[in-house]
Structure 1
Amino acid sequence: MTFPALQDYLDRLRHTPVDTSLWLDPQGKAHGRYLNSTLTSVYQPIRTLADHRIVGVQGYMRSHSRNDAGLSVWKLLDTVATDDQSIELDRLCRLLHVLNFYRQPELVDADLYLSVHARLLSAVDSNHGMSFRHVLDVLGLPHRKIILQLPMIQPDQAWIAHYVADNYRRNGFRLAINVADVRQGLAQLTQIRPDVIKVDVRELYDEVAALELLLEAQTNHVSVVFKRVESQGVHDKLLRLAERAPQSLKVQGHLWDQPRSVFAEWDIVSEQQPLGATS
């Protein structure tokens, strides 16, 4: 699939000086500048547990480095940015993510997960989702492939989370929520009505509750992603869970992938084994 409006925009960026707010490097990667920091995108895949096929990627904004190992931009800038600057930074991050994602035809069938920073829950206005939708429409990009990922929601943030979720949902975006454990996932499944629940697998101690979450998610057409898979022991625990699960498991973590900026076609159809596995 090609995107003519996006290609026209990228062609114009190729002639933009590097000292501006947005430009392309010789390899075609989009970079941005904010508060004297050079920023770009990296992505960590979300895979099916059964065959390790990439079904989505999560975008992370990093300071520029030659080997994709830059620092988190929010950690660098969050303490010095005002609310208005944080919203401006968020919009720049989303633009960079979609430019660097959709310029790679290998990723076109995958979902793109973009995080909503916790600070933005109370800072964004009612037009924030509309503004992002407008950017995608101008570039001719499919908004339904983008999943906006809410941060972990505290009890006193519930009404704000509902407000933000409704805003994004009205503008046609799918939603993911991050939860600390499967019990919190069960509680928020009906409260927020997400399309995806992302569970921190390091807190996966209750297999009965995990199976209950997977069953309720299946009934409500919600996907579950187990994130932060970082050890062979956790991977083996998920394999045992998958034997009884009512839906196929999706996973994300350093056991398979460090975040990186560019993917090749073989990455998307890869059936490589996780680190530490034997053939």
Structure 2
Amino acid sequence: MNLQRLISYFENWGGQQGGAAPRLVFGDEGAYGRYGALLLTSRYQPLLDREQKVVAYEALLRVQDPAGRYIAPDQLFARLDEDREVVVLDRLSRVLHAVNYVGQPNEGKRLFLNVNGRHLLGISSGKHGTTFESLLEHCGLKPSQVVLEILESGIDDLRHLQQAILAYKDKGFRIAIDDFGCRHSNFDRLWALEPDIVKLDRNLTLQAMHNQRAAKVLPALVRLIQDLGAQVVCEGIETAEQHQLVMDSGSDMVQGYYYGRPAVHLLQQVAEPA
């Protein structure tokens, strides 16, 4: 791991003049980020396969102000006026997660990293992933070990999104579409984007728990996505009943508080559900 190159990248970022200075910092407990007065830290939540084995982790950002109050990451990004600030903060978050991930026994499991939609739209060169691939190499990870998670329903420019996904895939990253089923998600966009993984919006599971029609639709939705060549993740699972429902629906992977809450340290095993 080339820590100095990582630190230097953010120290030398040209956009810090007139804006909050992004910094990658290393301490006794691992890496953390500074963005102005805000503290950025990593949390990890496991993804499990149908045999209840941990197969990957999603990295989640935690943001605290000087008073120790937590700020939702989407609220922080919404505050930023300039796309270049979004780009560097998004990169800082992903590098932070990658560094802390490599510093723990991860047994080569894939790492899911969220990419902000404004980041994708803020890069007009068509060279999405070029800078991050270099940063990732300094972290000790390869693109093939990373799944980039995108909330496609928040991006109206489908052509730009297609170009970004193709550029990422060409570098070896896998692509996951997050929260499919919310807002204006539709299958036309899935056909156009050809993701490797589709994460279903948790509300689809909640509806299926209380609505017989929704319960019948869920397995058909899972099969249709699988027929498109993508794996399905049902996320937001919190109870044994929800677990059984999504297992019966044929989901390839699951995620949620039922299996493990986001934590600083990687959860290697989970107790088999009752």
AA paired with 1:256? Y
Distance in 2 (alpha carbons) for counterparts of 1:270 and 1:158? 38
SS of residue matched to 1:52: coil
Give unpaired runs (5+ residues) of structure 2: 8-20, 209-213
TM-score by length of 1: 0.77
Distance in 1 (alpha carbons) for counterparts of 2:232 and 2:165? 18
Q: Does the 8 Å contact 2:260/2:270 carry over to 1?
A: no
Distance in 2 (alpha carbons) for counterparts of 1:225 and 1:149? 12
Distance in 1 (alpha carbons) for counterparts of 2:100 and 2:165? 25
TM-score by length of 2: 0.78
CA drift of 1:231 comes to 3.3
Q: Residue in 2 aligned with 1:9?
A: 3
CA drift of 1:160 comes to 2.3
Q: Does the 8 Å contact 2:24/2:33 carry over to 1?
A: yes
2:265 to 262, 267, 270: 262
Superposed CA deviations along residues 113-167 of structure 1, whole A, max 9, x for unmatched, are 1111122232123233111111123444221010111113258332222122112
Q: Cα–Cα, structure 1 residues 203 and 218, in superposed 2: closer, same or farther, change >3 Å? A: closer
Q: Does the 8 Å contact 1:196/1:222 carry over to 2?
A: yes
AA paired with 1:215? R
SS of residue matched to 2:152: coil
Distance in 1 (alpha carbons) for counterparts of 2:187 and 2:81? 35
Q: Residue in 1 aligned with 2:16?
A: none
- 2:82 is the counterpart of 1:82: yes
CA drift of 1:270 comes to 3.0
Give unpaired runs (5+ residues) of structure 1: 1-5, 14-18
Q: Does the 8 Å contact 1:23/1:32 carry over to 2?
A: yes
Matches within 5 A, 1:1-279: 6=1, 9=3, 21-27=23-29, 29-48=30-49, 50-63=50-63, 70-105=70-105, 107-125=106-124, 126-153=126-153, 156-181=156-181, 184=185, 186-204=187-205, 205=208, 206-241=214-249, 245=250, 249-263=252-266, 267-273=267-273, 278=274
Aligned-pair identity in percent equals: 24
Q: Does the 8 Å contact 1:57/1:110 carry over to 2?
A: yes
Q: Residue in 2 aligned with 1:3?
A: none
Superposed CA deviations along residues 173-211 of structure 1, whole A, max 9, x for unmatched, are 110112443995644432211110000132244455433
CA drift of 1:235 comes to 2.1
Superposed CA deviations along residues 72-96 of structure 1, whole A, max 9, x for unmatched, are 3342353134211111101111110
